[in-house]
Amino acid sequence: MEKNYYLDTLNENPLLNLEPNLPIDFKTIIERKGKDFLPALEYYKKIALDRIHQIKKNTEEPNFENTVLALEQADQELYECSSVYYVLFSAECIEDIQRIAPDVSSFLAKHSNDIYLDAELFKKIDYVYKTKNGINNSEQFRLTELIWKNFKRNGALLDEEKKKRLREIDEELSKLSPKFSENLLKSTNAFELHITDPDDLKGLPNNLIQTAKENAQKRNKDGWVFTLQMPEYLPFITYCEKEDLRKTMYLAFRSRGLGGETDNRPVIKRILELRHQRANLLGYKNHAEYMLEERMAKSPENVKKFLDELYVHVKDYALKEKEELEKWIYQEYNLKKELQPWDYRYYAEKYKRYLYDIDQEVLRPYFPLENVLDGIFLVAKKLYNLSFKERFDVPVYHPEVKVYEVYEKDDYIGLFYFDLFPRETKKSGAWMTSIREQGLFKNQIVRPHVGIVCNFTKPTKDQPSLLTLEEVKTLFHEFGHALHGLLSKVHYRSLAGTNVYWDFVELPSQIMENWVKEKETLDLFARHYQTQEKIPYEIIEKIKRSENFHAGIQFLTQLNYGYLDLYYHTTDPSLIKDVVDFEKKITEKTRLFPEPDNVCISTGFSHIFAGGYSAGYYSYKWAEVLEADAFEYFKEKGIFSQEVAEKFKKYILEKGNTEDPLELYKAFRGREPDVKSLLRKFRLLNENGKIAG
């Protein structure tokens, strides 16, 4: 008798053991090379569709419990299974996980359409939304409203012909984002800079040289190999004294996904075409209008106004910073030429050292990774009375992953995963990942399982992982997201943790970066890894004095990305004939340095083409306004003020999407946010509210 592979896989499938009080068996999932995902998703889809069928055939009057809550729970296992898949797709994307990405995305898109395009189901949801039948509190109404809007925004009101077209669009889109990620990962991994002449290493930090040496040994090569992983790329172009080598690295990084078999330009054009068609089909002018309807900003016009307001304040300031740098280069090096993009970080670091007598590499010994982890735990304890206990029995997807139990006093809060070093199977960058959402799951209110995934400088055989100040800030940033997930205290998972408006989600993360520059914080953990000496006070003062170095240029860089994203999603795609030409046109006013040929930001812009930030990249700056304003409150009362921390936890971290984010912010702050707080933070405004300088 022929073996039934499907049933055989189900019998052994670790993904069928999604129990509220058990961690995910990542170890077995990886050992079985991800072959369990598609069978598990099929299995859970059958369960979900059966539950939805029960909702539809129920002859009782539709109410919150028998319709809205029943739908919320219908595909709870399917949702969790897909969350596990995308954790691995980003963090441990072995070949078999990568291979099924189009199938998983297509499967989920079709399932979503099967629900949202079901007219009979929407009729029941619509009845509960309009009559409020069985709705007993504001959170139940918020969930009902969210589900009703999701139906409306995903085609429930379309006729059958348009529903069919929407399905086709979503099916194709579901495969394009994974393709973009695959191209970017492959093109990143395909490049290496092989150096055999020790003279070419001049200026490079010792830990980077050691990493490159180990890279070469793994490849059975002499000398040193440098890759485009961020912990190698950034210090290389910041410290390498050889301009031609800096240029080589810069051009390689900026041409990822540009040309060859991993060319993302056709992927981008097709994504834009389909997003635009989808928005039109649903009654919106463009994708940005569709996306921003459910954001604090509300409209593309408001986003442009916001970006323009910041642009007016910072453009001249950034130009002045660039001119001052070029003037100093001429004075110091007798070098008079137009500064190239691969030169900027190199000379800016030297100028910063000249102005403030501070070298990023001098700071590394004070930031061994283990100390920094202790530091974020101590900050969490002082602010929110949290404690962390390492677990060694939780199955993980890679040996480098660490897991902690989190407690608030004696109350269990959740599981916290750390995965901090680069691998070829991991996407670049840093992110917080939700493995299990807090809230109702299998009739229990479960605590969350969240993780932080980063690409930090790896330890070598001679020294531990030593972080740069920027890497420390990144860890605090992602920890803020993790706290948002961990401290969630809602009833329904769809409203939990980070499931908030996209321009609100960065508030908890970005505000955490502020603690890094404070002496009270650094005294908790910043110690020299060899001498155990605390970071000297004079270094802390230098950090504080230098924190606004080239703030105008940093601002303009973020505005550059924000404008590019906005115009991609408000422009008729038929007018975008060439991705590179379009990018150059849109970024012209925010560009400070000459643009070389054969480079492109867009082909590596995974935030908007493979992440959730399409028409939303502005949200980083939007949330920076919120966090700058919020941290001013902490500064007024003390950075570890229990009064302010309790209010931030109560109104921001615990509430998820149970209320409008602006109302939550006003409840925390006592007023609306002040947009000028961000400019004050970076000292771009003087005490009279005018442009500084």
Give 412's strand partners.
Answer: 407
Residue 499 banded pLDDT, cuts 50, 70, 90: very high
**Does the pLDDT of residue 36 top 80, yes or no?**
yes
* Among 275, 224, 249, 436, CA closest to 346: 249
Q: Which domain holds residue 215?
A: 191-255
**Does the pLDDT of residue 693 top 60, yes or no?**
no
Q: Is 660 inside any structural domain?
A: no
User: Between vectors from CA 175 to CA 610 and to CA 620, what angle results, nearest 5°?
Assistant: 15
Rounded-to-integer distance, Cα 643 and Cα 436, Å: 30
pLDDT digits (tens, 9 = 90+) for 354-411: 999 888 788 899 999 999 999 999 999 999 999 999 999 999 999 999 999 999 999 9
pLDDT digits (tens, 9 = 90+) for 447-463: 999 999 999 988 988 88
Query: Is there a single domain that holds both residue 152 and residue 210?
Result: no
Rounded-to-integer distance, Cα 446 and Cα 438, Å: 6
pLDDT digits (tens, 9 = 90+) for 247-280: 999 999 999 999 999 999 999 999 999 999 999 9
Q: Which of 132, 157, 182 is the last residue of a domain?
A: 157
Rounded-to-integer distance, Cα 414 and Cα 258, Å: 42
- Confidence (pLDDT) at 17: 86
Q: 116 and 155 in contact (C-beta within 8 Å)?
A: yes
**Does the pLDDT of residue 32 top 60, yes or no?**
yes
**Does the pLDDT of residue 529 top 50, yes or no?**
yes
Q: Is 209 inside any structural domain?
A: yes
- For 121, the token pair is 């189901």
Rounded mean pLDDT, 542-570: 93
Query: Is there a single domain that holds both residue 129 and residue 234?
Result: no
Rounded-to-integer distance, Cα 185 and Cα 193, Å: 17
- Confidence (pLDDT) at 687: 54
DSSP assignment letter at 299:
S
Rounded mean pLDDT, 241-252: 97
Q: Is 293 inside any structural domain?
A: no
Query: Is there a single domain that holds both residue 26 and residue 106?
Result: yes
User: 331 burial class (0-12, 13-18, 19+ CB within 10 angstroms)?
Assistant: exposed
- Confidence (pLDDT) at 686: 60
Mean confidence (pLDDT) of the chain: 94
CB atoms within 10 A of CB 451: 23
Q: How many domains does the chain have?
A: 3
Q: Is 101 inside any structural domain?
A: yes
For 531, phi then psi, to 5°, come to -95, -15
Give 501's strand partners.
Answer: none
- For 651, the token pair is 């109104």
Residue with tokens 């605590």: 447
Q: 670 and 637 in contact (C-beta within 8 Å)?
A: no
Q: Is 182 inside any structural domain?
A: no
**Does the pLDDT of residue 6 top 50, yes or no?**
no
Q: Which CATH number is 142's domain given?
A: 1.10.1370.40
- Confidence (pLDDT) at 358: 84
Q: Active-site residue among 92, 232, 478, 506?
A: 478
- Confidence (pLDDT) at 1: 31
Query: Is there a single domain that holds both residue 384 and residue 529?
Result: yes
pLDDT digits (tens, 9 = 90+) for 657-685: 999 999 999 999 999 999 888 888 887 77
Residue 692 banded pLDDT, cuts 50, 70, 90: low
Q: Which of 207, 238, 255 is the last residue of a domain?
A: 255
Query: Is there a single domain that holds both residue 153 and residue 204?
Result: no
Query: Is there a single domain that holds both residue 222 and residue 371?
Result: no
**Does the pLDDT of residue 607 top 60, yes or no?**
yes
* Among 594, 623, 391, 415, CA closest to 501: 623
Q: 477 and 513 in contact (C-beta within 8 Å)?
A: yes
Q: Is 219 inside any structural domain?
A: yes
- Confidence (pLDDT) at 2: 36
Residue 3 banded pLDDT, cuts 50, 70, 90: very low
* Among 455, 105, 155, 401, CA closest to 290: 155
**Does the pLDDT of residue 104 top 60, yes or no?**
yes
Query: Is there a single domain that holds both residue 370 and residue 423?
Result: yes
**Does the pLDDT of residue 188 top 50, yes or no?**
yes
478 is catalytic: yes
Q: Which of 229, 255, 281 is the last residue of a domain?
A: 255
**Does the pLDDT of residue 482 top 50, yes or no?**
yes
- Confidence (pLDDT) at 543: 84
b/e map of 640-667 (b: 16 or more CB within 10 Å)?
bbeebbebbbebbbbbbbbbebeebbee
Residue 689 banded pLDDT, cuts 50, 70, 90: low
Q: 375 and 629 in contact (C-beta within 8 Å)?
A: no
Query: Is there a single domain that holds both residue 399 and residue 497?
Result: yes
- Confidence (pLDDT) at 611: 85
Residue with tokens 């069978």: 39
Residue 544 banded pLDDT, cuts 50, 70, 90: confident
Query: Is there a single domain that holds both residue 111 and residue 235?
Result: no
Strand blocks (E) in 298-430: 386-391, 402-408, 411-419
Rounded-to-integer distance, Cα 113 and Cα 621, Å: 33
Residue 12 banded pLDDT, cuts 50, 70, 90: confident
Pairing of strands 402-408, 386-391: antiparallel
Query: Is there a single domain that holds both residue 228 and residue 372?
Result: no
pLDDT digits (tens, 9 = 90+) for 124-139: 999 999 999 999 999 9
* Among 117, 109, 252, CA closest to 190: 252
Q: Is 70 inside any structural domain?
A: yes
Rounded-to-integer distance, Cα 102 and Cα 108, Å: 10
3-class secondary-structure state, position 74: helix
- For 146, the token pair is 């969210």
Query: Is there a single domain that holds both residue 41 and residue 90?
Result: yes
Residues of the chain above pLDDT 70, percent = 97
pLDDT digits (tens, 9 = 90+) for 44-72: 999 999 999 999 999 999 999 999 999 99
pTM for this one? 0.87
Query: Is there a single domain that holds both residue 398 and residue 450?
Result: yes
Tell me the residue type at 25.
D
